[in-house]
Structures are given as C-alpha cells and as structure tokens.
Amino acid sequence: MISKILIANRGEIACRIIRTARKMGIATVAVYSEADAHALHVEMADEAVLIGPAQASESYLKVDAILEAAKRTGADAIHPGYGFLSENPEFVERVEKAGLIFIGPSAKAIRAMGLKDAAKALMEKANVPVVPGYHGEAQELVVLAGKANEIGFPVLIKARAGGGGKGMRKVDRQEDFPAALSSARREAKASFGDDRVLVEKYVATPRHIEIQVFGDKHGNVVHLFERDCSAQRRHQKVIEEAPAPDMPEDMRAAMGEAAVQAAKAIDYAGAGTVEFIVDASEGLKADRFWFMEMNTRLQVEHPVTELITGLDLVEWQIRVADGEVLPLRQDQLSINGHAVEARIYAEDAEKGFLPAVGRLMHLAFPGGDIRIDAGVRAGDEITPFYDPMIAKVIAHGKTRAEALGKLAGALGRTEIAGTVTNTAFLARLCRDADFAAARLDTGLIDRNIDSLTEQAAAPDAILALAVLAGSGMVPSRNGPAVSVTEIGPFEIWGAPKRPVRLEIHGTEKTFQVERQGAASWRISGEGLAPGGLQLDAVGRTGNDWSFSAGGVMQRCRLVSSSTEVAIFFEGLTYRFGKPQGKRTDDLAAGGDQVISAMPGIIKQVLVAKGQDVKSGEPLVIMEAMKMEMTLSAPRDGVVAEVLVTVGAQVPDGVSLVMLESEADAA
C-alpha cells in the first residue's frame, strides 16, 4: 500500500488531496515556492519542501526539484493534482523511472489524448462521434482559412495542445480569421509551448456536457455519470452541476458508453473526463453530441460528482494507482439528488473579469451542509503568480432547484475582504431566470452579462456607515461609548467633525462626519440626501456592527483596513476604497498614457514612437494570471514614447505607452 504521497501542486487541490490521504492513513509531503512559504497546503501536510522561486516555471514545473523532494522525504507516490504537470507524459515517465508510483494515467494514455487533432482521429476509429472540422497537420494561414470557409462560419479555432479555453477563438466572419488565428496561436504558445491549432464547426446552441470515467489496471472502466458545464465565459467554466438538467436516459446511456469506449481505446487507468459538445437547439437528443477532448486528470469540478454518487474520487485514484480493482461495477453506481459548484475567484466582474490581487484581510464561509474546498485562509495573499481561485462552494439537494437555492444563499453569506471577488456575479447567475429554468448553453452568460455584472448601489445607511468607519471616528469595540482617543482632536467650538474621502465604483467622493452624541453621527456628502443621514445607537463588537437609521435597527459585518472598507449586509458585499493619494502616473494628463492594470508580462508591443493611433486601437498585449489582456489607446493621438519591451515583467500601475499631450499636438 502507498504509504507517503508527495503532492506536486498547490492551493485548493493540494489541500483536497491531503484531506483524503489523512483519512486513509497515508502521510503527505507538500512542495512549495517562495511565494507559498506560509500557504495552507504547506501547513496541512506532514512534511514540506521548498522547490524554488515564485514563478511556476522555476518551482511547480521543475521536475528535478519535485523528484528530489520525493527522494529526500521518502515518498513512494506522487499525485499531480490538476494543472501544472498533471498532463505531462514526460513527467510521468520521470516519476516511474525514479521508482515512484504516479497517481494518474500512463504516459501513453496522456499522449494519446494530449493533442486534440490526434485524439479526434483516435476517437473516430473507436466509433466515438467527433465534431466536424479540420484536424490536419498543415498550419499555413491559407490552408486553415480555406478549411474554415469549407466548414462554414462561425468556426472555432482551438489549440491542439490546449485546455481550459486557452488558445481558443470563435470566428464569425472570414475577414476576422487572420487576427483570431494569430491571437489563438500566441496564447497557445504561451500556455502550452505549441502554437498549432485545429478548426471546428461552431455549434450554434452548444451545451458542454462531460462524462467522468474511471479505469483500473485490470481493464475495467466505468463512468460516474455526467456533469453540465455550460455556464461559461471565455470558454472557462463558471458553475458546474451534476447531473445535467433534462438529460434523457437514452442520451445518458449513449454518452456514458461513448466515454467508456474512449477510455478503453487508450487502456485508461485512473480518473479522467471525456468532454462532449452537445447541440441543444432542439433539446437533448442521443444523436446530438460530439467528442471534444479528454482531460487525463482529476477535474476542478469533481466534487459535484462526489456529492451525487457518495464517492471519494481521490481515494479511488490512490487505490487504482496502487493496483487495486475498481471498488464498484457500473450497475452498482447510481445518482442521488443534484449538486452545483461555483468557483470564487479574485476578479472584478464589473471590469471584464480582470484578475485581482490582494491580501485576504477577512475570509468567512457559510456553515451547514455546504461544502467548501479552499486553499487559502484569512491573512493569505492572492498573488499574480498563480490562478486567482479562492475557493469552490458546492451545494447538494434533492432537486436542482434546492441545490441552486442553497448555493445562492451560501454565496450571499460568504464574506471576503481585501480583494474584489466574483461572488455577487455568481449569486446573480444562480438566480438568473434562464439559468434557473435550465435554459442552458455556453452563450448564456455573454447574453445576460449586463444584468449579471451590474453595479449594486449601497443603501444610504450602508454608505453612511462606511464613511463613519473610514473617518476613524469609530465606536468602541464593546458598545456605543466612544473614547476621545478614538475620535481624535475635538474642535474647540461645536461638535467634532472630520472630512472623509471614499472611492465608490472607481469614483472618489467627499463626505463629512459630525458627532451628534455618544453613539450618534450625522453623515453628509455626495450621494446622500441634502442635510445628510443620521446614524443612532451605533455600536460594534469586533467586526459586528449595529446601528439605527430612520428608527430601524440594523446589523451588518464591517471590516476596515488601510485601503478599504468592506460591509457585508443582507447577502451582498459593498466595497469602498480609501484613496491613497495620487500616484505619479495619475498626475499626468488623464488620457495621455496606457497603464498596466496589474502585474504581468508584456507579450506584444503593437506600436512605435511617432505612430498615429486611434481611440480603442490595441497598443500592448500583456499576460497576467494566465489571462491575455489587450491594452488600447485612450484617445486618438500620436505615440510619444514606448516604455516597455516584449518579455518585460511590469508591476501594477506603471506607464507602458505615452501619447503626445493634446496641447503639444495642437
């Protein structure tokens, strides 16, 4: 039996594997980068080994360092989690050559499914239905564009070595094909080291339905039913659920059998997922699904399968890797209820889902029967080096409606301060009329994006309370009494007053706080009614605040730091920034420059000094937190300076391109 597992990963999945290993009585070894020295997975594991600097290429992707860590600690098996080296066949071979057990499929199976074009050809031979398209070797623009015309627009360009939506572009018109191809290739090269692509027919009303398969080393393969991952943006899964809504039994059987055949065709052992694209234009039908790809690893969304089957898929992985026969036969597997999972990310939904960074100064998840899979805790930092996922929130119910209701409620009770998150967006999606009614396809989020990302205006009382907290004139921790030292200097005549500036949805506003009594305050300023708003009976115990506005006593949770005030009230989070003073960059002419939105690497510089540019024209392409971003000209003008070069690592808030000032141009 495996006695000690080294986990070649980090974050949520590393913590997830440690929990199962501990339950099985197996010791664990964590590896970590310098940026993760105090990470949760390091704390949870029995042993931990530093393997390199913050950059993944110098740590979590360093095979030699990982194998050396296994040798030093006496580990006899390695679990790759997902991402990083999990689908790297050379890594599998190195692990096995070192005399260790790889908890996953064989290198041969990974190679068979690693390239989309080869995998589709293999599936065709195994009689698994495949999406119409071009999967050939020729990669010249003229060939690919010609094939796209033959297939008929719209088409999808897909990185053949890709996954997770990387290197994928939808193209609606022939004239857009060259630019989309260039962008897809660039992203594919950066993500997978391979810029070759395939071109497929775009299904107009697509649903993304995948089948969880499991094989052992004795030739047995079963499927653990389906997951629906149609709620996507930029081809990235947002909410996943099991089973698929409205799935007919004949289609479930057909898809399950196709997935099993796919796994058997490559002698698959371990956990894998066979992904299908489904034409839902006329409902779900057994002849309207096609193979897309197979992920030869555990999926991020595996918890929904665990909840409807009552199984631990990580335990199955370990047992299969150790040579055991699959614990159950196909006829012993069944579906119990419905499960839904949402991925909480540090990202700004109101700004195009721009990834965010920051220290988690407050983090609280709901209790009860909600499952939380997290790799962070309060005080941890979301850095630009890795995927910005904070946690997965998973709910289970007897019906889909019950599970969705539980998930929406849990998201509303999740409290995160220190960085912007997508929790409000996720909660709105759970309650979206189309999503709730299971009118699903992969374009649902894009169609409803305005309502799903609308800015929620804070109630006047919450705004006033944020201003009070931002003033520093706060009540004592255990009641309404207020000390002079907490208030600050009194005015010689009259009540103590203090001006306060807060940033609300990117706009800085000015307020005034005036003390009316021991626990009463009047707040006035922009956005509040003339004369201001009176807060009475203000008190707090820790982060729990109480106050009366207009005779109504209310309660909320408030967390304040040097950079923001976050208030959790009635299932919503309201964030107010504390202006830190103008940066040098901000003091320049407002529309004269392009500024990095966050730390990242410059991938392309598209302009040169002296070049005329139009408003909205792409100037720089940078990559940050696994996402490619295009930074555009803020106005028409002439490039005065290009301040970066390709490959440069830039911090947040620096100038990348300067335009001649409009005064100079005139």
Among candidates 533, 529, 477, 525, which has minimal Cα distance to 499? 525
**Gap between the Cα atoms of 72 and 81, Å rounded:** 21
Q: Which range, 125-134, 314-323, 470-479, is most confident?
A: 314-323
- Output the CA torsion 607→611→617→621 (10° steps): 10
Q: Which runs of consecutive H residues, i.e. helices, occur in 300-360?
A: 302-309, 313-321
Q: What is the mean pLDDT of residues 257-283?
A: 95
**Window from 16-25, 313-322, 636-645 with minimum mean pLDDT:** 636-645
Whole-number pLDDT of residue 1? 86
Q: Which runs of consecutive H residues, i.e. helices, occur in 215-330?
A: 249-265, 302-309, 313-321
Confidence of residue 487 (pLDDT cuts 50, 70, 90): very low
The set of residues, in sequence order, having a beta carbon less than 8 Å from that of 509 and lying 6+ positions away, is: 501, 502, 503, 525, 526, 527
Whole-number pLDDT of residue 664? 56
pLDDT at 488 over 70: no
Among candidates 627, 53, 572, 35, which has minimal Cα distance to 346? 627
Helix, strand and coil percent figures for the chain, each rounded to 5: 30, 35, 40
Whether 342 and 411 have beta carbons less than 8 Å apart is answered as: yes
Whole-number pLDDT of residue 476? 55
Confidence of residue 132 (pLDDT cuts 50, 70, 90): confident
What is the chain's mean pLDDT, rounded?
Answer: 90
User: Residue 437 is which amino acid?
Assistant: A
Whole-number pLDDT of residue 303? 98
Confidence of residue 586 (pLDDT cuts 50, 70, 90): very low
DSSP codes of every residue in 409-459: HHHHT-EEESS--SHHHHHHHHH-HHHHTT---TTHHHHTHHHHSPPPPPP
pTM over 0.85: no
Q: What is the mean pLDDT of residues 39-46?
A: 98
Whether 10 and 375 have beta carbons less than 8 Å apart is answered as: yes
pLDDT at 72 over 70: yes
Whole-number pLDDT of residue 18? 98
Structure-block tokens of residue 539: 């008190």
How does pLDDT run across 609-618, given as a tens digit for each residue?
A: 989 998 888 8
**Gap between the Cα atoms of 213 and 263, Å rounded:** 7
pLDDT at 501 over 90: yes
The set of residues, in sequence order, having a beta carbon less than 8 Å from that of 336 and lying 6+ positions away, is: 308, 309, 310
Whole-number pLDDT of residue 477? 54
Whether 133 and 201 have beta carbons less than 8 Å apart is answered as: yes
How does pLDDT run across 602-635, given as a tens digit for each residue?
A: 888 999 998 999 888 889 888 776 666 788 888 8
Structure-block tokens of residue 321: 């890797």
* % the chain with pLDDT above 70: 93
Question: Is residue 60 classed exposed, middle or buried when 0-12, 13-18 and 19+ CB atoms within 10 A define those classes?
Answer: buried
**Gap between the Cα atoms of 94 and 617, Å rounded:** 47
Where are the extended beta strands (E) located within 44-150?
A: 47-52, 77-79, 101-102, 133-134
pLDDT at 180 over 50: yes
Cα distances (Å, whole numbers) of residue 665 to 162, 331, 523, 656, 662: 45, 76, 45, 20, 5
Q: What is the mean pLDDT of residues 523-534?
A: 92
**Gap between the Cα atoms of 436 and 421, Å rounded:** 22
**Gap between the Cα atoms of 67 and 586, Å rounded:** 48
How does pLDDT run across 314-358, given as a tens digit for each residue?
A: 999 999 999 999 999 999 999 999 999 999 999 998 888 888 889
DSSP codes of every residue in 384-408: TTS--EEEEEEEEESSHHHHHHHHH
Q: What is the mean pLDDT of residues 288-294?
A: 93
Confidence of residue 494 (pLDDT cuts 50, 70, 90): very low
Peptide bond into 132 cis (omega under 30): no
Whole-number pLDDT of residue 591? 65
**Gap between the Cα atoms of 20 and 115, Å rounded:** 31
Which residues are annotated as catalytic? 297
Question: Is residue 139 classed exposed, middle or buried when 0-12, 13-18 and 19+ CB atoms within 10 A define those classes?
Answer: middle
**Gap between the Cα atoms of 429 and 451, Å rounded:** 9
pLDDT at 294 over 70: yes
Structure-block tokens of residue 442: 């992969």
pLDDT at 642 over 60: yes
